[in-house]
């Protein structure tokens, strides 16, 4: 699972990335601070199944705090994109190639309106952040359009050739951006059969539809800590009722995560409260009181964990499945419930067996729903937080 973080310069993409991963990333209030992409592990948070068995798990990857399991995902923070990047403005859009493998994009917007369209600092609330929603989508759509256009002659030939299947040619051309044959085929069905007759508008529309399926975008309305930002948030939600928009303060999350790492606080990402473990300086105390009053009490979280969870579970509709034995939840190295896999909704017991190991899939005999202690077959559809044992001949 790869989550791309995108947006115009200085909206807080690297701050978001750093808050979610605690990896090193340069942060500064001038545009194009990030040039080379940053890649690191972040986490989605789920209610761990260990508590259903009165146990404490020991994850192989990620971690578990108070029965909150943090399952690893990959995050990618890229350079800022400005309007017309595809024509070479700003850093151009070459770096979009870094996002080819992304499964979902988080569009970080500066909801406090303190950054203009070029990413330059301006007084808070002086720029209208609503203007940023469309341009970014368009830039990403144009990226897809340009990739499509590169293969257009091939498509036209495939369309004319007896027996050649157009959707295969389209999927091949766009395989680098995760377009599968299924996606190409279902999207082509929405357009006239003869692609040589398509207008530019239709090609652009096709690129947009394919982009929506392979790189869906949700919005992180960042810098909500800046006084007056709530009004912009309300306007944004009203203007884009069908978008997934989550308010956040990457700066607050970074502060809480870093202080927890330094053992000054106890804070579990995504929670509404934190515990102070050491005497604070006056400055630290002031910052934390602000975070408590202006963010946690108002919004119930800093939003960073919610954005990641929403991207994976609400938007991409993944579920988390744990392998485990009906009589034993411990692996050969003594770890309890060591693994947790993120799978697409609709995953069957057989899909899960293949995910763990091809041999398990090939030799599949039956599976056991460990929580319910029920035997299930190949076609059994799994649910979020299922624990499954696979019985296989191999
Ligand atoms: N008030 C506030 N400021 C923030 C927040 N997140 C980031 N910032 C500030 O916004 C500025 C830009 O942050 P970066 O994380 O470097 O932004 P970026 O989007 O990665 O910028 P580029 O790499 O240049 O595209 C810095 O001064 C940050 O401290 C936030 O949640 N609240
Ligand atoms: Mg950056």
> Could you tell me the residue ranges of all domains in the chain?
2-127+216-313, 142-213, 319-392
Which residues in the chain belong to E strands, given as ranges?
2-6, 38-47, 63-65, 68-77, 104-110, 217-222, 245-247, 265-266, 275-276, 318-323, 341-344, 364-369, 374-376, 386-392
Q: State which of 16, 17, 24, 27 you would mutate to test the pocket of ligand 1, scoring each by most atoms of that ligand within 8 A of its C-beta.
A: 27
Q: Mention every residue, 6+ apart, whose C-beta is less than 8 A from residue 34.
A: 13, 14, 25, 26, 77, 78, 79, 80
CA-closest residue to ligand 1 atom 25: 9
- Count Cβ neighbours within 10 Å for each residue of 293-313 and write b for 16 or more, e otherwise: ebbbeebebbbbbbbbbbbbb
pLDDT value at residue 159: 81
Rounded distance, CA 139 to CA 185, Å? 24
pLDDT value at residue 43: 98
- pLDDT of 308 > 80? The answer is yes
- pLDDT of 375 > 80? The answer is yes
Q: Mention every residue, 6+ apart, whose C-beta is less than 8 A from residue 388.
A: 321, 322, 323, 324, 349, 352, 367, 368, 369, 370, 382
Q: Look at the domain 319-392 and name its fold.
A: Ubiquitin-like (UB roll) (3.10.20)
Q: State which of 7, 8, 15, 287 you would mutate to test the pocket of ligand 1, scoring each by most atoms of that ligand within 8 A of its C-beta.
A: 15
Nearest atom (ligand 1) to Cα of 29: 27
Q: Dihedrals φ, ψ of 118, to 5°?
A: -95, -5
The answer to whether 315 and 246 have CB atoms below 8 angstroms apart is no
Q: State which of 7, 8, 12 you would mutate to test the pocket of ligand 1, scoring each by most atoms of that ligand within 8 A of its C-beta.
A: 12
For tokens 């869906």, what's the residue? 216
pLDDT tens digits for range 17-57: 999 999 989 898 988 898 899 999 999 999 999 999 999 99
CA dihedral 6, 9, 12, 18 (to 10 degrees): 70
Å from CA of 10 to ligand 1 middle: 5
Ligand 1 pocket residue status of 80, Cβ below 6 Å: yes
Average pLDDT over residues 81-92: 77
Ligand 1 pocket residue status of 132, Cβ below 6 Å: no
Query: Residue 95's pLDDT band (boundaries 50, 70, 90)?
Result: confident
- The CATH number of domain 2-127+216-313, selected from 3.40.50.980, 3.40.50.300, 3.40.50.2300, 3.30.200.20: 3.40.50.300
- Total residues belonging to the chain: 394
Nearest atom (ligand 1) to Cα of 34: 23
The answer to whether 381 and 321 have CB atoms below 8 angstroms apart is no
SS3 content of the chain, % helix, strand, coil (to 5): 40, 20, 40
87 token code pair: 């024509």
The answer to whether 305 and 313 have CB atoms below 8 angstroms apart is no
Q: Structurally, what CATH architecture does the domain formed by 142-213 represent?
A: Orthogonal Bundle (1.10)
Rounded distance, CA 248 to CA 257, Å? 14
Which tops the pLDDT comparison, 26 or 300?
Answer: 300
The answer to whether 48 and 29 have CB atoms below 8 angstroms apart is no
Q: Are strands 341-344 and 364-369 parallel, antiparallel or unpaired?
A: unpaired
Average pLDDT over residues 297-305: 97
Instruction: Say which ligand is closest to the CA of 32.
Output: 1
- pLDDT of 90 > 80? The answer is no
Rounded distance, CA 38 to CA 16, Å? 12
Ligand 1 pocket residue status of 226, Cβ below 6 Å: yes
- pLDDT of 92 > 80? The answer is no
Rounded distance, CA 63 to CA 61, Å? 7
Rounded distance, CA 97 to CA 177, Å? 9
Q: Mention every residue, 6+ apart, whose C-beta is less than 8 A from residue 276.
A: 264, 265, 288
The answer to whether 388 and 351 have CB atoms below 8 angstroms apart is no
Q: Mention every residue, 6+ apart, whose C-beta is less than 8 A from residue 289.
A: none
Rounded distance, CA 313 to CA 342, Å? 9
Rounded distance, CA 158 to CA 161, Å? 5
For tokens 């203009």, what's the residue? 116
DSSP letter assigned to residue 114: -
For tokens 């750093």, what's the residue? 18
53 token code pair: 């068995």
The answer to whether 174 and 147 have CB atoms below 8 angstroms apart is yes
Question: Which percentage of the chain shows pLDDT scores above 70?
Answer: 99
pLDDT value at residue 357: 96
- The predicted model scores a pTM of 0.96
Tell me the three state secondary structure of residue 133. Answer: helix
Radius of gyration of the chain (CA): 23
pLDDT tens digits for range 264-293: 999 999 999 999 999 999 999 999 999 999
The answer to whether 1 and 312 have CB atoms below 8 angstroms apart is yes
């Amino acid at each position: 699972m790869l989550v791309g973080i995108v947006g115009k310069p200085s909206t807080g993409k690297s701050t978001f990335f750093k808050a979610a991963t605690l990896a090193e990333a340069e942060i500064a209030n001038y545009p194009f601070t990030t040039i080379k992409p940053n890649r690191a592990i972040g986490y989605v948070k789920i209610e761990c199944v260990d508590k259903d068995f009165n146990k404490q798990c020991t994850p192989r990857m990620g971690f578990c705090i108070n029965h909150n399991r943090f399952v690893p995902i990959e995050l990618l923070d890229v350079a800022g994109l400005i309007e017309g990047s595809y024509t070479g403005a700003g850093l151009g859009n070459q770096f979009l190639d870094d996002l080819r493998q992304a499964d979902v994009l988080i569009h970080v917007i500066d909801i406090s309106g303190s950054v203009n369209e070029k990413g330059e600092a301006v007084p808070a609330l002086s720029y209208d952040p609503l203007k940023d929603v469309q341009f970014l989508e368009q830039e990403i759509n144009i990226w897809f359009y340009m990739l499509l256009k590169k293969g257009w002659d091939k498509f036209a030939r495939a369309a004319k050739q007896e027996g050649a299947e157009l959707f295969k040619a389209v999927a091949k051309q766009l395989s680098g951006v995760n377009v599968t044959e299924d996606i190409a085929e279902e999207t082509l069905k929405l357009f006239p059969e003869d692609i040589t007759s398509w207008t530019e508008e239709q090609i652009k529309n096709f690129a947009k539809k394919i982009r929506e399926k392979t790189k869906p975008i949700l919005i992180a309305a960042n810098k909500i800590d800046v006084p007056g930002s709530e009004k912009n948030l309300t306007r944004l939600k009203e203007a884009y009722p069908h978008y997934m928009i989550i308010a956040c303060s990457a700066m607050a999350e970074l502060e809480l995560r870093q202080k927890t790492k330094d053992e000054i606080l106890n804070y579990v990402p995504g929670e509404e409260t934190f515990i102070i473990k050491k005497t604070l300086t006056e400055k630290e105390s002031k910052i934390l009181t602000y975070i408590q009053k202006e963010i946690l009490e108002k919004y119930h979280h800093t939003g960073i964990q919610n954005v990641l969870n929403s991207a994976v579970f609400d938007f991409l509709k993944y579920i988390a499945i744990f392998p485990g034995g009906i009589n034993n939840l411990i692996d050969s190295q003594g770890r309890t419930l060591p693994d947790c896999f993120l799978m697409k909704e609709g995953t069957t017991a057989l899909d899960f067996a293949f995910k763990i190991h091809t041999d398990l899939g090939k030799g599949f005999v039956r599976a056991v729903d460990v929580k319910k202690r029920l035997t299930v077959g190949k076609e059994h559809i799994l649910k979020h937080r299922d624990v499954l044992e696979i019985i296989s001949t191999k």
